[in-house]
Amino acid sequence: MSLRTLIPALAVSLLVTSTAMAQGETAAVQLKTVNDRKAVIATVEPVHELAARSRISGTVSVINVKEGDKVKAGDKIAVVADEKLALQMRAVQARIEAQQAERAQAKIELDRAAELRRTGAGSQSKLDQAKTRLDVAIRNLQALQSDRQVIEQQSIEGAVLAPSDGRILTVPLHEGSVVMSGDNVAMMATDNYILRLQLPERHARFLKRGDEILVGSRGMKETDNTSVRPGKVVTVYPQIDQGRVIADVAVEGLGDYFVGERTRVFVATGERQALVLPEQFIFRRFGVSYVRLKTGEDVVVQVGQPVNGGIEILSGLKVGDVAVMP
């Protein structure tokens, strides 16, 4: 046999062998107990929503952020200035200078009284009075210096700092706005986002911490089998609000979602029997799902959601059917 005729023969032989190997894999359609999942709407929420508050009263002189900005803990969001602090600082500084002069005079009088007492020209009572006046002058000076430190600290607290890493949600003030101590300068969401569910209370007994849910595609689109991703219930709140139980779900990749954005999720609300087939035995042709049976027939099937062990088969197959790899 020539080389030209040998190569096509080998290619046909390899194709037949690989096809036989692939078709040798079979799977029987089984009836399994699966979770009965219901489609509900979940809302993206931050784990914590924090307020950046003003620590002093005054006028907002600088705002460094706007809605949507990402900040780190300790970043300066705004500056609140109080003109009275500058006036108080000048007044305290003048009193400190006057008290320093009084302390210096008390020191001179103490030295003179000590010299007179040493020579016998002065009494002990005069010396004791001079010591007392110097001690009082020193204590008054220390008190005034403490007052100055308080005013300096108040000036430093005019900076409004981000309490945590996160994203700015709202900035309700503008430069020039007057604020009081404790007023909100900006609202921010922490970096950690969760999905918040609200289920009818008849489903509350089925929901518990650690349950797995399926999250649909972003944008409230119709969800197919390939666009869902898993999430896990981390908190089930013990209080039912207006006939609904509230739960938080941890899902990876929510950092680029908007706060308050809604998405479709599938939650287990019980158990039921369903036909299940491994996903690799299902193929699509012209937008229709097919399964190839062991008899060689291609059967049109309607598929459901992913379940443990494969894909739920809604119609087209029955228990005991044997599928082969397409």
The domain spans of the chain are 25-47+192-324, 52-80+158-190, 83-157
**Rounded-to-integer distance, Cα 297 and Cα 191, Å:** 53
Q: Which residue would you say has higher pLDDT here, 14 or 126?
A: 126
Query: Does the structure show a pLDDT above 80 at 35?
Result: no
Say yes or no: do domains 25-47+192-324 and 52-80+158-190 share a fold: no
Percent of the chain with pLDDT over 90: 15
Please, which pLDDT band fits residue 221 given cuts at 50, 70 and 90? low
- The pLDDT score that the predictor gives to residue 220 is 56
CATH class name, domain 52-80+158-190 = mainly beta
- Which residue carries 């040798």 as its tokens? 24
**What are phi and psi for residue 289, nearest 5 degrees?**
-85, 135
What's the CATH number for 25-47+192-324? 2.40.30.170
Query: Does the structure show a pLDDT above 50 at 22?
Result: no
Whole-angstrom CA distances from 86 to 53, 102, 133, 153, 181 are 22, 25, 31, 12, 18
Other beta carbons within 10 Å of 29: 21
Read off the pLDDT of residues 288-320 as tens digits, 9 standing for 90 and up.
Answer: 998 999 888 888 998 887 777 788 888 888 888
Query: Does the structure show a pLDDT above 50 at 63?
Result: yes
Identify the CA nearest to 81 among candidates 18, 4, 156. Answer: 156
- Mean residue pLDDT of the chain comes to 82
Question: Residue 97 corresponds to which amino acid?
Answer: E
pTM of the predicted structure, to 2 decimals: 0.55
User: Mean pLDDT across the stretch 249-271?
Assistant: 81
User: Mean pLDDT across the stretch 232-247?
Assistant: 87
